[in-house]
Amino acid sequence: MESLPNELHLLIFRYLHNFDILYGFYNLNQRFQRIIQSYLCDIDLTQTNLFYKQFLLLAEQIIPVQGSLVRSLKFAIVPHLPSLRLRQLINLQSLTIVGYLPHDDNYTFLTDALSLSTLSELSIHITGQNTFIIISTNASQRLTKLIIQNSLYISHGYFNDIQQMPYINGLSVNISSNKILLNIFETMPNLVQLNLLLSDHYDAEDVNLKELPVTLEKLQIEIDYDKWHRTNFELINNFIQSVS
């Protein structure tokens, strides 16, 4: 391997998962360190089952030394999550967390993520109102895009005591009623792009949605419907009537 040209190494690396490259070639020599630096920019741990030993290598050896190179991180919740010290990712711009954050850490992990001044995109499961409160009170002005995963059960009451987030200009969310959409507009008044997934039991109740945010440039609507409920045409028609 040492005698092969860099171009051939890169060709071989195409057939490996990024973490396999980091795990297999980290700290071999300066040449390989330079080669794998580009693979540190975007780390996706959601497509591989990490052994505890591998996770510790990432958390305790690679990130403390090379953490400044990481721009995007995706991972699924694992029992040894506390080993991952997000504050060391001083240039992290995008964070995707798949699964539900444990409540027994008092949201310390999420707070640490939001404390990163470079973080501009967050994708996360919302497990309750507390998660919303943590985001609205701890996010920096650099956080401009929020993706709320599996948000079907977000209720109107979730928005009580939530601080305005005028810095959010991009939002992806699953909603079940017009009333929740009104809450979103009040909490995030400067939305430029809004991606909505309407559930199969979407309630297009009589709520005035005529005044969309003046900043809104793109509205993308997806339908999640069940054959035993209203048709997707009827659903989308009711929604469009309320905003047009």
Q: With respect to residue 150, please indicate whether it lies within any of the assigned structural domains.
A: yes
Q: With respect to residue 162, please indicate whether it lies within any of the assigned structural domains.
A: yes
CA atoms in the 13 A half-sphere facing the CB of 52:
3
Identify whether the C-beta of residue 125 lies closer than 8 Å to the C-beta of residue 101.
Answer: yes
With a cut of 60, say whether residue 43 has pLDDT above it: yes
Q: With respect to residue 219, please indicate whether it lies within any of the assigned structural domains.
A: yes
8 or 37, which is more confident? 37
Residue 83, both tokens:
């080993």
Q: What is the mean pLDDT of the chain?
A: 78
Q: With respect to residue 26, please indicate whether it lies within any of the assigned structural domains.
A: no
Q: With respect to residue 129, please indicate whether it lies within any of the assigned structural domains.
A: no
Say what the pLDDT of residue 166 is: 95
At 175-186, the pLDDT tens digits run 877 778 888 888
With a cut of 90, say whether residue 145 has pLDDT above it: yes
Q: How far is CA 159 from CA 6, 135, 154, 163, in A?
A: 53, 12, 9, 9
Say what the pLDDT of residue 125 is: 85
Q: With respect to residue 180, please indicate whether it lies within any of the assigned structural domains.
A: yes
At 149-172, the pLDDT tens digits run 876 667 777 787 788 999 999 999
Q: With respect to residue 123, please indicate whether it lies within any of the assigned structural domains.
A: no
Say what the pLDDT of residue 116 is: 93
Q: Domain span at residue 241?
A: 138-244
* Tally of CB atoms within 10 A around 199: 19
With a cut of 60, say whether residue 109 has pLDDT above it: yes
**Given pLDDT bands bounded at 50, 70 and 90, which one contains residue 227?**
very low
Q: With respect to residue 62, please indicate whether it lies within any of the assigned structural domains.
A: no
Say what the pLDDT of residue 2 is: 56
Identify whether the C-beta of residue 190 lies closer than 8 Å to the C-beta of residue 214.
Answer: no
Number of domains in the chain: 1
